[in-house]
Amino acid sequence: MVTDRVTVALLSLAVFLTVLALLGAQLRSAAAHAPAHRVVVVRRIYRTTVIETVRGGAPGGPSVTQSVSSSGGAVSGAAAPATRTS
């Protein structure tokens, strides 16, 4: 009984390894016939600027805008400050 079980297990393993070897051979064959590819890595850096008006509009009250930039740099959403005759 014990010998039969060992035989079955060995046979199963042999079948599995044979199938694996066949698949590996097919894969090597396909790779050998495929054209060489250049690998291009595209890096896209997305910058998000959110300009949110928090409050304002009341007579005499302040106008407030909050700008948030995901770039880590300075926020460019706001209009440039301007020097002028006062």
Partner 1 sequence: MSTELDYSFAAMGSEIRLLIGERLVAGAPPPLAAADREREFVLEFGRRLSRFEPASDLSALNHDPRPVVAAPPLLRTAVRAGLWAAERSGGLVDPTLVRALEVNGYAHSLRDARPASLREALAAAPVRRAAAPNPRSRWEDVTVDDARGTVARPPGVMFDTGGTGKGLCADAVAVRLAAYSRFVVDCGGDIVVGGVGAQLRPYAVAIEHPLTGRSIGSIPVAGGGIATSGLNVRIWRRPDGGFAHHLLDPSTGRPAWTGLVGATALAGSALEAETLSKMALLLGADDARRILAPQGGLIVHDDGEVEPIGRVAAELSTNRPTAAPPLVLG
Q: Which residues bind partner 1 (CB under 8 A)?
A: 54, 60-86
- Nearest CA to 29 out of 37, 17, 21 is that of 21
Which residue shows structure tokens 């959403």? 77
Q: Which two tokens stand for residue 70?
A: 């995901």
- Using the minimum distance from each CB to partner 1, give the nearer residue, 35 or 61: 61
- Least spacing, CB of residue 52 vs partner 1, in Å: 10
- Using the minimum distance from each CB to partner 1, give the nearer residue, 35 or 60: 60
- Least spacing, CB of residue 74 vs partner 1, in Å: 5
Query: 62 burial class (0-12, 13-18, 19+ CB within 10 angstroms)?
Result: exposed
- Using the minimum distance from each CB to partner 1, give the nearer residue, 1 or 58: 58
